Amino acid sequence: MTGRELPPSSPFAGDDGSPDPALTEVLTRYAAGAATLAEVVAALAATRVLVPVLAELEVADVVEHDGEVHTVDKEASAGIVALRTPDGRTALPVFTGVAAMARWRAQARPVPTAVPRAALSAVAEGWEVLVLDAAGPVTVVLPRTAVYALAQGHGWTPAVQDGVVADDVRAAVRDALADVRLVVDADAVPGTRAEVAVRLALPAGLDRAGLDRVLAQVNDALAHHPVVAARVDSLELRVRPRLTLRRAPRWRLSGAGPPTRAPTRWRRRSARAARRESRG
């Protein structure tokens, strides 16, 4: 069977392999910067995708997206392939239609699958990411949190929108770290190397071993918090030592400020000099 044919499997026996028009419209707007990733995920939830099956796998096969190379990493027993992303995660490639799949591999056999089922299969395999239309025309990488939401039939909201971390995510980060000893304060902001950055205020003077222990506890607490795990795709930590306040000068009492000039120094005078001044 060529990559331009669909197997006669129910409920997709009448599917001609064309992409869903509503999804295509959202992807076009997404490529132009007029739609969000959340809109793409919402459109995907109601449609089907094609999962490629290859009879033979080229060991050196790669896919490029946004200047980053995704390596074809493994082949399941059924011939379903996975991609290795630059950050080391494994992704299931899916396609909107047979034409998009043929752009990637003309010899691939398309297996139509409802998106929630494809996401659930990826999760079951331990594959955290979905790559939609790996060879274009519009390639989209769906993060782990979106894949998990699709697999469960839930709506998905990214942890960061319009440059702001969602309130529930910030609250969850603080809750997760509330009982971690030596964490004086914590907050969540948009990350640069990851989706979310957790800013930590720690006591000044921690040595390397102490810092490593605290960070290990922080990572463990964040990983096991259900809201953080479900809502945040990736995290980075930013540590800022808490400043040690100096003891206030003795003259700074009751809010009084420092003196504006040095106090007058009086010279000692002898009794004879004082009598002379009084006579004059």
* pLDDT number for residue 145: 96
User: Is 5 among the domain residues?
Assistant: no
Check residue 16 and give its pLDDT: 86
**pLDDT given for residue 12 in this prediction:** 75
The verdict on residue 277 lying in a domain is no
Domain count for the chain:
2
Give the CATH number for residue 236.
3.30.70.1350
Q: Are 150 and 156 spatial neighbours (Cβ–Cβ below 8 Å)? A: yes
Element (H, E) at 268: none
Q: How many CA atoms lie within 13 A of 125 on its CB side?
A: 24
- Least Cα distance to 51 among 78, 86, 22 occurs for 78
- In this structure, is residue 256 part of a structural domain? no
What is the C-alpha to C-alpha distance for residues 159 and 233, in angstroms, rounded to an integer?
8
User: Residue 176's domain spans which residues?
Assistant: 161-242
Alpha helix stretches (DSSP H) within 9-97: 21-31, 37-45
Q: What is the pLDDT of residues 219-251, one digit of tens each?
A: 999 999 999 999 999 999 999 876 443 333 332
Neighbours of 27 (CB within 10 A): 24
Both 143 and 169 in one domain: the answer is no
pLDDT at 221: 96
Nearest in space to 149 (alpha carbons), one of 176, 114, 123, 113: 123
The verdict on 171 and 223 lying in the same domain is yes
User: Of the residues 131, 158, 185, which one is the last residue of a structural domain?
Assistant: 158
Q: Would you state the pLDDT for residue 200?
A: 96
**DSSP state letters, 235-258:** EEEEEEEEPPPPPPPTT--TT---
Q: What is the pTM of this model?
A: 0.72
In this structure, the answer to whether residues 123 and 188 fall within a common structural domain is no
% of the chain at pLDDT higher than 90: 62
Task: Note the pLDDT of residue 168.
Answer: 96
Q: Give a yes or no: residue 74 inside a domain.
A: yes
Virtual CA dihedral for 255, 258, 259, 263, nearest 10 degrees? 110
Q: Based on the domain organization, do 133 and 37 belong to the same domain?
A: yes
Q: Is the dihedral of CA 225, 230, 232, 233 positive or negative?
A: positive
- Which segments in the chain show pLDDT lower than 50? 1-7, 59-60, 65, 69, 73-77, 243-271, 274-275, 277-278
Q: What confidence score (pLDDT) does residue 148 get?
A: 95
The 8-class DSSP code of residue 191 comes to -
Same domain, 176 and 154: no
